[in-house]
Amino acid sequence: MLTTTTGLSAACVPSSFSGLAVFGAELVSVNTALVTNYSASVPPGPRLTQPPIEVRNATFCNVTVTYTHPGQGDNIIVETWLPIENPTWNDRLQAAGGGGWAAGRFATMYMTMQGALGDGYATTTTDAGLGYSEDPTDWALASPGNVDWYKFNNFGSVSLNDQAIISKSLIKSFYGTGPVFSYWNGCSQGGRQGVMLAQRYPDAYDGISVGAPALYISRLCPAVFWPQQVMNMRGEYPYRCEMDAITAAAVTACDGLDGLVDGLISDPDLCLAKFDPRPLVGTPVPHCQQAGNRTVEISAAAVAVANATWHGVVSASGARTWYGLGPGSDISTDPGAVAATNCTSGTCIGSPQPVSLGWIVPFLGKGAPNFDISRLTHAEFDKLMHIGRQIYRSAIDTDDPDLSEFRDAGGKMVSFHGLWDTIVPPQNTRHYYNQVAAVLPDVHDFYRHYEVPGLAHCYGSVSGQPTSLFDQLRAWVENGTAPEETPVNVTVSDGGTQQRILCPYPQRYNYDQKRCRGHGHADASCWVCTAGPADEGLITP
């Protein structure tokens, strides 16, 4: 076994990995590069459940493996970084998940890998055979009308297990021993990948940390498009300033429901039950930028779109078919927001969210020349959502609640979800956790979920991330210490920073004024975890 820095550096050559083999796959190439004096400043965003880190003058071996599944015509790349010095290897593997429609090997994910490297992990990513593309229209179809099922299955699940096998084999060849513990770290698509690994490959990783997992893709992506569909059906496209004003009114109305007025909504379900935006119709909104900086009035269309965004998809027959975003989340300002519009010369049109287009156009439209997403009737929208579930559920929805094999293998999983997520409804994850609990009543013994007030999609908005949660996962995996509360910092309405706690679902966090005497409301001790219902507003799977 190589133990010296010099010996490991010398071993960073393709011949060191000559024993690599994956059942069902054929090796195409192994390329290596010794990287020295590598430095990076990694912010908390792409670290997800870990704090920021400075990487300085690191040395590592970058191993890039290309392989194919014979007969499928695919070409998949797994990239693995093996630390040598500054820091040395910590005997562990941390895989980095993808995002959007990218399986891996994209900018944000590389920052996750930089952070893992800085902590001494061997770290890995895969492109699932899709190259650097983040747009499924580049790869979804083998030809017009025909989905490329090999690539789709690689993206959905197959490449994830290959990645675990390959990276562990590279580690053993390089260091002379495999990782003592292996972890997955991802959010959004990376979160879905992590849950898929727990479902289908329960031995791949000992610990899995996921944020805002994009589960139930065949329901989620149409739900992301739903606000645009409502605008299209009405033929009305509100100004963003109208939507922003409605969001601000929701925050004002619901702010104090957790016992503290601080500019945050801690209970979106209670907010939706108490706040009705319809009386806001006719309220003036001054200095509306999209309207040439003039004053406009909140329209009935804007209220209808906000309600549709918050309450979720409703079929033409009136059935609620999937969840909406939490009130307080940015549904209009960002160009990629779900209810965004583009306005020129006083005329507005819809601006669909790219993730929804990446599903509906290639996988449901399949390249048909007459497919026009802007002209769908309500019935046609319902049909597309149903067909998508019929065709693709088993490959991509990641909705199997039976995690008994993952539990029995000793696996542990933590998840978090921002209550101001701008793409994936927080109830997406809550729904899945409750489905697992219905099948496995001991779910709390191996899977814990946390909801974060004021956090947008994976990171951003007024809340920080639960940056202690990954270490808590490690303690759970490695010495059996289960995570309970986890800290988080939030920026409140007066511009200051508060310390809070997050509670494992279905517990809720509440402000306790009596506990705060002598501390002030910025102290984490002011918050307490209380029991909460686990089945509010669930939709039948």
Nearest-angstrom CA–CA distance, 541 and 539: 6
- Angle in degrees, CA 94, 502, 481, rounded to 5: 55
Q: What is the pLDDT of residue 271?
A: 96
Angle between the N-to-C axes of helices 217-234 and 300-311, in degrees from 0 to 180, rounded to the nearest 10:
170
Indicate the pairing of strand 92-96 with strand 181-187.
parallel
Q: Kindly tell me if the per-residue pLDDT of 260 is higher than 90.
A: no
Average pLDDT over residues 193-211: 98
> What 3 state SS string does 125-154 have?
EECCCCCCCCCHHHCCEEECCEECHHHHHH
| Residue 525 structure tokens | 């001790």
Nearest-angstrom CA–CA distance, 486 and 18: 44
Residue 372 is among the residues annotated as catalytic for this protein: no
Tally Cβ neighbours within 10 Å of residue 405: 14
Average pLDDT over residues 241-252: 97
DSSP class of residue 463 equals B
> Picking from 144-153, 264-273, 415-424, 440-449, which range would have the lowest pLDDT averaged per residue?
264-273
Q: pLDDT tens digit string along 46-89?
A: 999 999 999 999 999 999 999 999 999 999 999 999 999 999 99
Q: pLDDT tens digit string along 459-510?
A: 999 999 999 999 999 999 999 999 999 999 998 877 788 889 999 999 988 8
Measured over the CA atoms of residue 501, residue 507, residue 512 and residue 514, the dihedral's sign is negative
Query: Which residue out of 74, 267, 330, 421 is catalytically annotated?
Result: 421
DSSP class of residue 374 equals G
Q: Kindly tell me if the per-residue pLDDT of 521 is higher than 70.
A: no
Q: Kindly tell me if the per-residue pLDDT of 117 is higher than 80.
A: yes
Whether residue 2 contacts residue 176, with contact meaning beta carbons closer than 8 Å, is answered with: yes
The share of the chain scoring above pLDDT 70, in percent, equals 97
Q: pLDDT tens digit string along 393-404?
A: 999 999 999 999
Q: What is the pLDDT of residue 525?
A: 85
Nearest-angstrom CA–CA distance, 112 and 424: 21
Residue 15 is among the residues annotated as catalytic for this protein: no
Query: Which residue out of 159, 182, 188, 218 is catalytically annotated?
Result: 188
Residue 267 is among the residues annotated as catalytic for this protein: no
Whether residue 310 contacts residue 276, with contact meaning beta carbons closer than 8 Å, is answered with: no
Q: Which amino acid is at 438?
A: A
Provide the pLDDT confidence category of residue 1 given band limits of 50, 70 and 90: very low
- Angle in degrees, CA 243, 343, 290, rounded to 5: 55
Q: Kindly tell me if the per-residue pLDDT of 535 is higher than 70.
A: no
- Angle in degrees, CA 248, 253, 258, rounded to 5: 115
| Residue 76 structure tokens | 């998949």
| Residue 160 structure tokens | 């994830």
Average pLDDT over residues 173-186: 98
Query: Which residue out of 69, 457, 461, 463 is catalytically annotated?
Result: 457
| Residue 497 structure tokens | 């920073």
Whether residue 183 contacts residue 122, with contact meaning beta carbons closer than 8 Å, is answered with: no
Average pLDDT over residues 175-202: 98
How many alpha carbons fall within 13 Å on the CB side of residue 124?
A: 31
Q: What is the pLDDT of residue 492?
A: 82
Q: What is the DSSP string of 214-261?
A: ---HHHHHHHHHHHHHHHHHHT----HHHHHHHHHHHHHHHGGGGS--
Q: What is the pLDDT of residue 3?
A: 61
Q: Where are the domains of the chain?
A: 1-176, 219-393
